[in-house]
Structure 1
Amino acid sequence: MNARLTYEELTTVLVEIEAVLNSRPISPLSSDPSDYEALTPGHFITGSALKSLPEREVAANINPVDKWSQLLARTKWTTDHANIAKDAMNLVHEDNVPPQRWQLGRTINAIPGKDTRVRVVDIRTSRGTNRRPIHKVAVLPI
């Protein structure tokens, strides 16, 4: 893609990307199952988690078809992944909420489908217990 952004648009996009990357959980801060905090790159920079900038629309003169074509490459179903283990730390996807505000939780129960692959999990968060489909959960590596 050959997109052209103004200096202000490029700077804004780069600052937002930096904030998102530095707010992304790396691993649990402790092995305690009741701890819902995760280590982020922000901890190495400032000693605590960073808060990203609020989301806002950036108007650019880029063809929407070109933007969409970048999102089409999918490898989700071509690689085999291990089932979620009990007490694994997860990010729980919530619709209409930016990723920096998704809840952190721990898996308390994994429910397999007919093919023995885990399809649904029960997750304990600081707000209580939720049952989520596996595609709404991101497991943090330990």
Structure 2
Amino acid sequence: MRAPHFGGIWEAAVKVAKGHLYRSLQNTKLSFEELATALCEIEAVMNSRPITPLTNDPNDFEALTPGHLLIGTSMRAIPEPSDANTNPDILPYWRRINNVKSHFWQRWQKEYLQELQQRSKWASKSPNIAVGSMVVVHEDNLPPMRWSLGRIQKTFPGEDGNVRVAEIRTAKGTIKRPIHKLALLPC
């Protein structure tokens, strides 16, 4: 069956990618090679998103990504070239592609994290974040394909019993964040 309405989740991802790509490339003129490179970079960005924790181990900060299903490991970013070793004629093209990728990353990361955060009306009670759960921490200015993952170590409930702040253990150390800056990965 090849009808788009049978696709479900992957067709939704294609729609989101097309929308962000359109907004990222709106006034940009790219050659075929530049567009192909930009599309490969954007594909890697989309396939780097965390889906679910790989293990229940509280010391494991690795998450299953679409890249694991495609190539057997998580996607890695292409190292950025240093300006000193690069042909000056190529730099404007590389910077243009890099700007497209960064613009796409900023838009898409915010939307993906908002999808993970369950928003419900205040009239219905939703469960609190549990200790040991894996979360994606919303951090500004992260480079493309870098996700800040951590495990909830401690929760701080408000007077009403709802968790407002959590202490998260990440690979870089322990941080405190309000729960609206956290997106719980589904198990």
Same topology, TM > 0.5 = yes
Aligned equivalent of 2:180: 135
In the TM superposition, what is the alpha-carbon distance from 1:19 to its structure 2 partner?
1.4
RMSD across aligned positions (CA): 3.3
Aligned pair partner of 1:43 in 46, 68, 81: 68
- Runs of at least 5 residues in structure 1 that lack an aligned partner in the other structure: 59-70
Aligned equivalent of 1:33: 58
Structure 1 residues 78 and 13: CA distance shift in structure 2, 3 A: same
* TM-score, normalising length: structure 2: 0.56
Please give the alpha-carbon distance, in whole angstroms, between the structure 2 residues aligned to 1:15 and 1:102.
19
Structure with the higher helix share, 1 or 2: 2
Structure with the higher strand share, 1 or 2: 1
Aligned pair partner of 1:79 in 99, 114, 120: 120
Tell whether the 8 Å contact from 2:49 to 2:147 is kept in structure 1 after alignment.
no
Q: After alignment, is 1-10 or 102-111 more displaced?
A: 1-10
Residue 98 of structure 2 corresponds to residue 56 of structure 1: yes
Aligned pair partner of 1:93 in 128, 138, 159: 138
Tell whether the 8 Å contact from 1:93 to 1:99 is kept in structure 2 after alignment.
no
Aligned pair partner of 1:20 in 33, 36, 45: 45
Per the alignment, in what secondary structure is the counterpart of residue 47 of structure 2? helix
Structure 1 residues 140 and 5: CA distance shift in structure 2, 3 A: same
Tell whether the 8 Å contact from 2:44 to 2:145 is kept in structure 1 after alignment.
no
Please give the alpha-carbon distance, in whole angstroms, between the structure 1 residues aligned to 2:35 and 2:70.
23
- Runs of at least 5 residues in structure 2 that lack an aligned partner in the other structure: 1-18, 81-96, 101-110
Structure 1 residues 77 and 102: CA distance shift in structure 2, 3 A: closer
Residue 162 of structure 2 corresponds to residue 117 of structure 1: yes
Structure 1 residues 28 and 57: CA distance shift in structure 2, 3 A: same
Tell whether the 8 Å contact from 1:23 to 1:52 is kept in structure 2 after alignment.
no
Q: Give the paired residue count.
A: 129
Give % identity: 49
